[in-house]
Structure 1
Amino acid sequence: MHKAEFIRRFHHIQAVALEPDYPLRSKGRPAAVLIPLVDKPDGLHVLLTERAHHLRHHPGQISFPGGAVDPSDASIFDAAIREAQEEIGLPSQNISIVGALPVYRTISGYTITPVVGFVDPDFETKLDANEVASAFDVPLAFLMDRQNHLAHHTHRHGETFPIYFIPWQDRMIWGATAAMLRNLSFYLAE
């Protein structure tokens, strides 16, 4: 899928079914992630990160660049762009925001806004070793194919919640990252 096709599918007026998130009892801490879509000759790819292994929360997990919204951030979009610049060295001028998915609440108490943006591939990643162990990309077409999604159901407080997994080569994309990708797949479905 290339840019024009992505925009045609992403910006529509029909209602989209979403995967259930975690029902927080309070508002949750605002956070933003960037779903960076890199335009390559074979189509769009999603740039993902592997969190540093020494981190206290979610070490080694596959994620999008992002984090908590700071008081200095003018908007949720600015937070996603700032975090991408801090974590992987992605210059803000290389990002064109397309839009955002609905917020996704996590069991860890965050209310995450997934910001979708096209990324000009003309940059060299500069990983912040304190936060990121590696960065890699996956073809968007692979991630959007729900045949590649696995689900496990867990129980908490008498309720059942799905946890999604998307295996890619020697990595496992799972949890909130996989759920947000799954939600994006509903926006792009025809």
Structure 2
Amino acid sequence: MTTDDIRARIADRLAAPGRPSSDFDLNTEGAGPGQHALRGAGVLVPLHAQDGAVRVILTKRSSALKHHPGQIAFPGGKIEPGDGDAATAALREAEEEIGLPRERVTLLGTLPPHETVTRFTMTPLVGWIEGPFDPVPEAGEVAEVFSVPLSHATEPARFRVEGRRWQGRRRYYYAVPWGPYYIWGATARILRGFAEAMR
């Protein structure tokens, strides 16, 4: 299958409606989805052809950050007043966080929104990076930029359910580790939604 075939297949699968997800999917105790006012956010799921394979680019957040230090995340963030929509926010943040020029990204589609326990509704935009790309991590926010084979990130069998105590309760979440990188929580749940879309 050529790169063009893969791009077309992804765009075709993303065009089909999907189910929204949330951090509450595996947790029935406490306030569920839609119980609070939510802030909008956009994240980019960047795909890149490298050495004959398609890979998903992810970041490891700086350990100095106040929120989610050291966690694995997509480039992205909250929708600022000047953004207008989630796609603009995702592309702006990707440019700031990993040095990805927005004009180098072709958006292939959108995954269903994901609600987080931190009261954001994240819209994941799947984007294809055109041409070679050498990431430049923003030192204040990003400790590392790495990539995972798309075949790993979209294989449902690679996902597992794990749990830990958070705010006095046992909470469950999806995880899809890759080498030394522990991909879990909202990032893993969005990737699992991507896997479901690609089936």
TM norm. shorter chain > 0.5: yes
Q: Which residue number corresponds to residue 26 of structure 1?
A: 36
Q: Which residue number corresponds to residue 111 of structure 2?
A: 101
* Range that drifts further, 3-12 or 92-101: 3-12
For residues 25-64 of structure 1, the aligned pairs below 5 Å read: 25-64=35-74
Q: Deviations over 1:69-126 (max 9, x none)?
A: 0000032111100000000100112100111111100001111000110012423222
Q: Which residue number corresponds to residue 81 of structure 1?
A: 91
C-alpha contact (below 8 Å) 2:21/2:113 kept by paired residues: no
For residues 78-157 of structure 1, the aligned pairs below 5 Å read: 78-152=88-162
Residue type of the alignment partner of 1:35: V
C-alpha contact (below 8 Å) 2:176/2:188 kept by paired residues: yes
Q: How far apart, in 1, do the equivalents of 2:10 and 2:88 lie? A: 24
The Cα shift of 1:20 comes to 4.6
Misfit runs of 4+, over 6 Å: none
TM-score of the superposed pair, with normalisation by structure 2: 0.85
Q: Deviations over 1:121-158 (max 9, x none)?
A: 423222111110000001000111112111125799xx
Percent of pairs with identical residues: 36
Q: How far apart, in 1, do the equivalents of 2:60 and 2:11 lie? A: 26
TM-score of the superposed pair, with normalisation by structure 1: 0.88
Return closer, same or farther for 1:14/1:76 CA change in 2, 3 Å cut-off.
Answer: closer
Q: Which residue number corresponds to residue 11 of structure 1?
A: 12
Give structure 2 stretches of 5+ with no counterpart. Answer: 25-32
Give structure 1 stretches of 5+ with no counterpart. Answer: none
* Range that drifts further, 83-92 or 16-25: 16-25
C-alpha RMSD of matched pairs (Å): 2.4
Residue-pair matches, total: 188
